[in-house]
Structure 1
Amino acid sequence: MHFGEKIKVLRESKELLQRQLAATLEIDTPMFSKIERGERRAKREQVIQLAELLKTDSKELLSIWLADQIFELIANEDSALDALELAEKRIKQI
């Protein structure tokens, strides 16, 4: 599940409207709609705000958000899996 799908599921489970969350994030409703559809990226600060508003784990939401960004960056690369393995090793070292 990508970030936008997760936000939509959480928002609908709380019976909130897009415009309510958009207003709190200080963006317009069409922008929020694009975030839910995966057409725009939310900013890191917005992800944290959304976690608070939707009463969900910010670490999980940030992980999904970051995974989407990584996927977009390497999806069409032939050596994507190799690159991910190398990155994983480096992350484990720090």
Structure 2
Amino acid sequence: MNFGEKIKELREGQGLLQRHLAANLEIDTPMFSKIERGERKAKRDQVLQLATLLHTDKSTLLSLWLADQVIDLLKSEPQANEAIEIVKKELAKA
């Protein structure tokens, strides 16, 4: 599940409208719709706001948001899996 799918699932599960969340984020509804569809990226502070608005764990939403960014960066790279393994090893050291 990606970030957009997760916020859509949470929003619909709570009976909230896109325009309600968009207003709280101070963006227009079409922009919010694009974020849900994965056509636009949310900003980090918007992810944190959404976690609060949707009464969900900030860590989970941030992880999905970061994963989407990594996927976008690496999806067309033949060595993507190898690079991810190197990153995993380096992060384990940190």
- TM-score computed with the length of structure 1 as normaliser: 0.99
- Residue equivalent to 1:76: 76
RMSD: 0.4
**Partner-residue secondary structure (3-state), 1:45:** helix
Instruction: List runs of 5+ in structure 1 lacking aligned partners.
Output: none
Matched, 1:58 2:62: no
Q: In 2, Cα distance between the equivalents of 1:12 and 1:45? A: 22
- TM-score computed with the length of structure 2 as normaliser: 0.99
Runs of 4+ aligned residues of structure 1 deviating over 6 Å after TM superposition are: none
- Residue equivalent to 1:34: 34
**Partner-residue secondary structure (3-state), 2:62:** helix
> Paired residues, what number?
94
**How much identity, in percent, do the aligned residues show?**
63
- Residue equivalent to 2:67: 67
Q: 1:20-50 CA distances to partner (integer Å, 9 max, x unpaired)?
A: 0000000000000000000000000000000
